[in-house]
Amino acid sequence: MKLLLLPNTDKPHVFSCIARLTATRFSQPVEFLMEERLSGRCAGCSNLRFGLLEELMKECDVCVAVGGDGTIIHGGKIAACHNRPVLGINLGHLGFLATLESDQLEKIERLLTGEYTTEKRMMLRVTLETPSGSRSWQAMNDAVLSKGGPLNRMIGMSVENRMRMVGSYRADGLIFSTPTGSTAYAMSAGGPIIDPAINCISMTPLSPHSLFTRPIVFDDESKLGVCLLEVDAKAYLTIDGEESVPVWPRDRLHIEKSEIAVTLINLTGKSFYDVLNEKLIWRSRK
């Protein structure tokens, strides 16, 4: 089996974790792959072959994201484009998407023996239309449209679904999230926690002007259109917390279910609700 390692190089112990992983003895042959640009940082690692990411992605059986949830999201989107599953090893804090902690590397043996399950996680296709053209992204967690002007000024936004008016909003912004992203930024803004087995799009207003403005959950066939209402408004579109681009009143944002999905590998057998209790509820009580 060929495992492509996708490390978060900003994590202080990521390469020591990789060294332990590549030195682990398994019942079947395992070859570890990694991007050529990281070869100089893996002096203490054995059983590693380096190459170009695009070529290694085609060759590998599984992508192993080593870091936190952000690492899994970034790697998951790349893997989804090549129809490869993703296994997450947590070096972060909550690690809501990771199936293993860094002290559980021996459980990767289950990957070789087939003792694991997989689950599909829907993504969003986000397209920004501007007078000069259009640009599209894939979002595994969320797409956030937020204010870019003075701190004390809200922005007005209009939302449509399938060309029918949903409503107008005055708020600091709107979060459009997948079920996976419902436990991220959207949850901290008061959005619902959604079982990832349900395909839908959640819209959560950020600090809305009206107390009666509440989140809305749309079905997965929805085609949402969003635009700014004030002629002098400015906002920013942020995809999965990774990339941010300016949005102007003449622009139009389109959000819908993506045609591709991320496949996550679960080696522990824990359900979504097991993880929810362990990562969020138990820790809050502690």
C-alpha dihedral, 135 to 138 to 142 to 144, nearest 10°: -10
Q: Does the annotation mark 69 as catalytic? A: yes
d(CA 76, CA 64): 9
- The catalytic position among 10, 61, 69, 220 is 69
DSSP assignments along 149-206, one per residue: S-TT--EEEEEEETTEEEEEEEESEEEEE-TGGGGTHHHHTTPPP--TTS-EEEEEEE
Dmax (CA) of the chain: 64
- Residue 34 CB burial class (10 angstroms; 0-12, 13-18, ≥19): buried
Residues, the chain, total? 286
Residue 102 makes CB contacts below 8 A (sequence gap 6+) with 13, 17, 89, 90, 91
Percentages helix, strand, coil for the chain, rounded to the nearest 5?
25, 40, 35
H helices then E strands: how many in the chain?
7, 18
d(CA 95, CA 72): 9
Which residue numbers are catalytic? 69
